[in-house]
Chain A
Amino acid sequence: MAQVLDMAAILETRNLSKSFGALAAVQDVSLAIEAGGLHSIIGPNGAGKTTLFNLLTGSFPPTSGRILLDQQDVTGTPAHRIAHLGLSRSFQRTNVFPAFSLLQNVWIAAFATGRSWNGLLFRNTDQYPEANEQARQALRDVGLIDKQNHLAREISHGEQRQLELAIALAARPRVLLLDEPAAGLSPEETRRMVALVRSLKGRYTIVLIEHKMDIIMSVSDRISVMHFGRLIAEGAPAEIQRNPEVRRAYLGGVAA
């Protein structure tokens, strides 16, 4: 797939591949994520979307290919370093700190990427005004500030999905990778999540994996379609909806 790599791309992959034994989960994927936009990645189950996210966030290194953040090669950077480079993700399966309060959940992410770790071993956690404010702001952004002292394991599934997003936000990333934020949500909760994602548009560069077509078509600036580990199409939502190959692979011929 020949393509002109946009200079405004904040995050790029070049011929990125990942194999697990004989299974080629991601094959030769070249993507350019434009700064400030919302770029969705869609595809049937098992298309390799989450593997792509895992590669981008350093959960494991790619088999071949490169990842560039701000034109800098970050291929093979381990997960715990990636967050410090301004890339932050939410997980498809809720992945929070169950025995922590909501505020502590986001605080831990805010502190990680905070400006200073002075007093790491002896200063009380209350005495980090910047991290505390950043944490509260993340909870405000997702509408959970009223429950900041509740424990994460005691809130509803929908709220846990919001918290999942808040943890990713608390790091104040430049690029936000959202892995199916609406997974397992009721229609009402989904509507709220869509409004939430839309409210974040413009403030962050967002890469979104999602199954629910209504979400994708209404919020995306650009869409990339994956199928069996490969990119089969890329374009604006309207173009993707018209693309016959995409309809065959993903929409199953159903008119959206």
Chain B
Amino acid sequence: MRAFFLILISICVLPLIVRPVIATEIWIFAIFGLGLNLLLGYTGLLSFGQSTFFGSAAYVAGWLLKHYGINVFIALGIGVGVGALSALVVGYLCVQRSGLYFIMLTFALNQLFYFVAYQWTSVTGGEDGMQGVPRPEFLGLDFKDPLVYYVFVSVLFLASLWLMKRIVESPLGRILQAIRENEVRAGAVGYHVPRFKLLAFVIGGAFSGVAGVLYAMLFGIVPLEAIGFVFSGNVVFATLIGGSGSLYGPIIGSFVFIWLSESMSVVWARWPLLLGVAFVIVVLFLRGGVVEAWHRFWTWRRSSKPAT
């Protein structure tokens, strides 16, 4: 409940601190992170190909928005569908292997999608990206107004968070964690492990798809990078910094990552160096990311208070 209020306050305060576009991007990236974390944090699967689902959904919905004038909600529905479907195909191939081979497969298939987008210039615009993706008005809501769109994205983010909370607290969430903890035993007690991994992929893909469509509408363009491996890496990066062991980790990670990259890139061209340092610190000392740092800080505060 306290976390919920903190998020609500952040949603209200954020557009006062940063430009609405950046504020919007933070919540979009958080939805993307929520989807990845179901795989990374809960199932223990490091997917280096999340931008496959993000980008595919953005391209398909972007194309339909541009040429067929579909409304925003249909675009989002298509994003969910394309994200889930591409995750079904990619996931099906990836869950056949584990460990390093699994990671390489997610990466390789991502590259495959990337080159399709790169080559298919008549549709995707290739290196120039798919430009001119509109943000059509719907039911009197003028999404072209950055603040209206910000509120819209925030509401969708809250809905995504609520949905993900339900999922991770459901039997599925516990089964995925059981697979992370001990795959062999999870199979022995009666769970078809590859099928559950695939389900995690599909759900994660649907979240990525929503994020992809929102992203395309935010910037009015689907850049080629949106389906590239750097983008896949960024969401892993952000989630690890925030803390993959917690539901809220990817949200904090998204905040840190987007805010740093937007504010620092103006000041200092070598800003990714800072991210690198942050990443090293997390990997070496803080496996639970910012969330763990927060917990440690409070335990330390409590224990250092004199006993009365």
Contact = CB atoms under 8 A, between A and B. Distances in A.
Contacts of B186: 97, 108
Contact of A125 (B169, B189, B190): B169
B172 A121 contact: yes
Interface in A55-98: 57, 59, 78-84, 88-89, 91, 95-98
Contact of B185 (A99, A122, A167): A167
Contacts of A232: none
B259 interface: no
Nearest to A85: B190
Contacts of A249: none
B190 A120 contact: no
A160 interface: no
A108 B166 contact: no
B181 A84 contact: no
A113 interface: yes
A112 interface: yes
B172 to A, nearest CB: 5
Contact of B190 (A91, A97, A112, A119): A112
Contacts, number: 85
Interface residues of A, number: 36
B193 interface: yes
Interface string B158-176: 0000000011011111110
B172 A100 contact: no
Contacts of A125: 169-171, 173-174
B182 interface: yes
A178 interface: no
A89 B188 CA distance: 8
Given A95-B184, A97-B181, A98-B182, A108 B189 contact: yes
A228 interface: no
B171 A80 contact: no
A88 B184 CA distance: 13
Contacts of A82: 190
Contact of A95 (B173, B182, B193): B182
A128 interface: yes
A119 B170 CA distance: 8
A83 B170 contact: no
Nearest to A122: B166
Nearest to B192: A80
B189 to A, nearest CB: 4
A100 B166 contact: no
Given A96-B182, A97-B182, A98-B181, A167 B189 contact: yes
Contacts of A123: 170-171
A120 B178 CA distance: 15
Interface of A: 57, 59, 78-84, 88-89, 91, 95-100, 104, 107-109, 111-113, 117, 119-125, 128, 167, 171
17 contacts: A59-B188, A83-B188, A91-B188, A95-B188, A96-B182, A96-B185, A97-B177, A97-B185, A100-B178, A108-B189, A112-B190, A120-B171, A120-B172, A124-B169, A125-B171, A125-B173, A167-B189
Interface of B: 166-167, 169-175, 177-178, 181-182, 184-193
Given A100-B181, A108-B189, A111-B174, 15 more contacts: A80-B187, A80-B192, A82-B190, A83-B190, A89-B188, A91-B188, A96-B182, A97-B186, A98-B181, A108-B175, A120-B170, A122-B166, A124-B169, A125-B171, A125-B174
7 A-B pairs with least C-beta separation: A83-B190, A112-B190, A97-B181, A109-B189, A122-B166, A80-B192, A112-B189
